[in-house]
Amino acid sequence: WLVKKIEEKIDYLEQNGPDESTLSGMVFATDDEGEEGKTSSPKKKLTREQIVENSLLLMLAGSETSASTLTNALLCLGLHPDKWDKLVQEQRLMQAKYGEDVLTRETLDKECPYLDAVIRETMRIKPLSSGAPRTLRATKVVDGVQIPKGWGVNWNVLLTHELDPITYKEDGSHMKVTTGFAPERWLDETTRPTTDFIPMGAGPRYCLGSTLAYTEMKCFLAVLARKIDYFSLVGDNSKGEIEWKRMSIIPKPEDGVPIMAVSSSSSSSSSSAVVDVESENPIAAVRAL
């Protein structure tokens, strides 16, 4: 369905000319120097297949993953208010040290360990539900089973996280948002997950957008923690009765995560609002507060 919509848009652009969309930029983009650096040669353009593949990458990997992770982070923090309190206190210290509105990547990365731990713990429990396909270049034997050269294999992020020897519990409670969410584990080398933590992949195909994704999510939660003192979950989510969306790159609640938030203020001017942080854009939800 997505491919069909992308191709329809490509057809429209080719018939009507460029507009200001990202897709238009890909359709009409050309190399500055043409083939092999020869300025007189025809300038190369992206093929339709390349445009479709890049569009899918931007839509699926570039936006939904971060938004879904933030949605799940608020779910976990709402189910564990003590964790939210720690996040708020960390941001209060940052404000006291640097000023109310100062927020830099350096301070987020180096002086907000609990913020980083919250994001990592969310991705540990609710990463990609599967992994990515690969084709074997040589025959391999795994646990006594031979997999022939040329066969497709799929590595699974969720199962890899589940079986991490540092965090593993036989009853599976370490992978549940109600019982397993413990950002503190990331602050101690003895409890910190091993290299089996791979929400962004690993090796030469490690996610190119990981730095941007981490920065976006840190900014979102840091700003939210500065804007509201506390929040509570609304509806069945508050009871831990969560119905997970079936068709989603990263599992998330079927009906989003509605919250009742109280703005940050010790005076009578504080206010509250109900926001659904999945049905709305998460950044817009913060601005609404």
Segment among 73-87, 102-116, 215-229, 249-263 with least mean pLDDT: 249-263
Our CA angle for 52, 22, 286, nearest 5°, is 115
Paired residues of 244 in beta bridges:
253
Instruction: Collect all residues with Cβ–Cβ distance below 8 Å to 86 and sequence separation of at least 6.
Output: 114, 183
Band the pLDDT of 240: cuts 50, 70, 90.
confident
**pLDDT at residue 281 tops 60:** no
Residue 91 identity: Q
Segment among 25-39, 83-97, 205-219 with least mean pLDDT: 25-39
Paired residues of 263 in beta bridges:
228
CB–CB of 155/134 below 8 Å? yes
**pLDDT at residue 9 tops 80:** yes
pLDDT confidence of residue 266: 39
Q: What is the mean pLDDT of residues 264-278?
A: 53
**Residue 241: C-alpha distances to residues 94, 162, 177, 238, 254 (Å):** 35, 21, 11, 7, 11
Quick one: which of 111, 67, 129 has its CA closest to 256? 67
Q: Give the largest Cα separation in the chain, rounded.
A: 70
Quick one: which of 286, 264, 267, 263 has its CA closest to 275? 286
Paired residues of 155 in beta bridges:
132
30-46 pLDDT tens trace:
876 555 555 555 567 89
Band the pLDDT of 273: cuts 50, 70, 90.
low
- Please give the Cα distance from 157 to 124 (Å, whole number): 9
Q: What is the mean pLDDT of residues 144-154?
A: 93
Global model pTM greater than 0.85: no
171-195 pLDDT tens trace:
999 999 999 999 999 999 999 999 9
